[in-house]
A and B are shown apart, each in its own frame.
Chain A
Amino acid sequence: AQTVTQSQPEMSVQEAETVTLSCTYDTSESDYYLFWYKQPPSRQMILVIRQEAYKQQNATENRFSVNFQKAAKSFSLKISDSQLGDAAMYFCAYRSRFTGNQFYFGTGTSLTVIP
């Protein structure tokens, strides 16, 4: 089974600054999806950004961007101009494109935004 590792249980960032959350994964597949989900205190999981493995270009969604390094199996999330509303748990997730429909989640990174 694929594994997703988030090595930073907690991170903090000053408001308006930039923070990078790390994620690595292990897979033998060549085509897959990667996601970052945000889980604020309200608890609903919200999709932040997605990356398709066959696309070399890093995905970007407003203040959120990823650094996808396929060879290194690394998928970090960069949050620019951090806002108080960005405070949440962030989960990295992997999904195979062809061999099933399970999502594999990392253990999460708790992000604190300091005013």
Chain B
Amino acid sequence: AAGVIQSPRHLIKEKRETATLKCYPIPRHDTVYWYQQGPGQDPQFLISFYEKMQSDKGSIPDRFSAQQFSDYHSELNMSSLELGDSALYFCASSLGRQGAGELFFGEGSRLTVL
């Protein structure tokens, strides 16, 4: 069965550079979530989209933006990168906005900021 696809899997950037992460949800899933997980930490919710509209916003910095496209894939854009942005970024998808149960996670994109 198809899973959540994230790209790139690994990314190395310099401070103040820009990075873009992509997420392709499971087919027919209409809701996408982005999480940030620092070393040894639990995942922190950044933002979510339902039917291409932002549905919830968590601890996403103003330097970050995201959107969901017509094919339901989502992109997380990160600008003016800081060392503290180094983390594993998870995308997850689900079917339906509410009451749909579990999230299905991708394998994550590991961002290293030097």
Interface residues of A (CB under 8 A from B): 33, 35, 37, 42-47, 50, 91, 95-108
Give bound CA distance, A87 to B106, whole Å. 20
> Judging by beta carbons under 8 Å apart, are B103 and A103 in contact?
yes
> Judging by beta carbons under 8 Å apart, are B99 and A91 in contact?
no
Closest beta carbon of chain A to B55's beta carbon, Å: 6
- Contact size range, B: 20 to 34
Residues of chain A with a CB closer than 8 A to B90's CB: 45
Interface residues of B (CB under 8 A from A): 31, 33, 41-43, 45, 48, 50, 55-56, 58, 88, 90, 92, 94, 97-108
> Judging by beta carbons under 8 Å apart, are A97 and B33 in contact?
no
A-B contact pairs, 17 of them (CB 8 A): A33-B102, A37-B105, A43-B88, A43-B108, A44-B106, A45-B43, A45-B92, A47-B102, A47-B103, A96-B98, A97-B99, A101-B33, A101-B56, A101-B94, A105-B43, A107-B42, A108-B42
